[in-house]
Amino acid sequence: MPDNITDLSMSPNNSSLFYIFNTENSAVGITASSLGDKKNQIFSSPFTEWLSQWPNNRMITLTTKPSSMVSGFMYYIDPSIKKLTKILNGINGLTTLTSPSGKLILYNDNSLSLRIYNTSTKDSMSLGIKTMPEKCIWNNTSTTLYCAVPKYLSGNNFPDVWYQGEVSFSDEIWKINTENGSSTNIADPSSFTRGEEIDGIKLSLDEGENYLFFINKKDSYLWELKIK
């Protein structure tokens, strides 16, 4: 594998991987087996700043790296036919998280307002919550989201200031029904961390969806929350 890989995603069954590396004039996307062989180029772009996700076997998503002052774009690739399709565009500060079904896209803008875009109906629904998709996780059936949601927001120029460490959050854990948009505050981590504030990232669920795992961005410690 090349040394200058800028982004990498695993397939849902972990048997394959997709990675992006930069050449002199472009970014190149490659699928390969988890051992690094059986390589197949499926993507090339003169723009080199991409974030990928592999939510299901039929879809790999690509989102431009975000900035509050720059319009973001999202595409998906069908790896079997190498077809690139635009999904979202012209959204400043755009970050995304695709559901396992591939039909729903969680996204936000530079105000951190969360919305869900339905790729079938082309409709967009506001969730009435302010956080970032990278602070959320879909359940296996794409019907529920769990998100680390800041209790309060200060400053502007999101998500840049959060990425740069100029702003840190104190989060609560919210459960969101993606079918009707209802949301429930299910935990305040500071209540079981002896007052320690949590800025939650890299959320994940166990197979039975009994436990929610997350990392505190402030110190990189791993936490577990029993949700059932």
Q: Which residues contact 31 (CB under 8 A, 6 or more apart)?
A: 16, 17, 18, 39, 40, 42, 60, 79
User: What is the pLDDT at residue 195?
Assistant: 78
Confidence of residue 178 (pLDDT cuts 50, 70, 90): very high
Please determine, for residue 168, whether its predicted confidence score (pLDDT) is greater than 90. Answer: yes
What's the pLDDT score for residue 3? 80
Instruction: Write out pLDDT tens, residues 18-38.
Output: 999 998 889 999 999 988 788
The torsion angles phi and psi of 175, rounded to 5 degrees, stand at -110, 130
Residue 136 has pLDDT above 90, yes or no: yes
Contacts 24+ apart (CB under 8 A), 105-112: 105/61, 105/74, 106/133, 106/136, 106/138, 106/145, 107/74, 107/133, 108/132, 108/133, 110/68, 110/69, 110/156, 110/157, 110/158, 110/159, 111/158, 112/153, 112/158, 112/159
Q: Quick: pLDDT tens for 49-90.
A: 999 999 998 999 999 999 999 999 999 999 988 989 999 999
What share of the chain has pLDDT > 90, as a percent?
Answer: 82
pLDDT band for position 17 (cuts 50, 70, 90): very high
Instruction: Find the DSSP H helices in the chain.
Output: 160-163
- What pLDDT score does 32 carry? 95
In single-letter form, the type of residue at position 227 comes to I
Mean pLDDT to the nearest integer, 156-182: 93
Please check the confidence at residue 134 and state whether its pLDDT lies above 90: yes
Mean pLDDT of 164-186: 94
What's the rounded mean pLDDT across residues 114-129? 95
Give me the pLDDT at residue 24, please.
86
pLDDT score, position 68 = 95
What pLDDT, on a 0 to 100 scale, did the predictor assign at position 77?
95
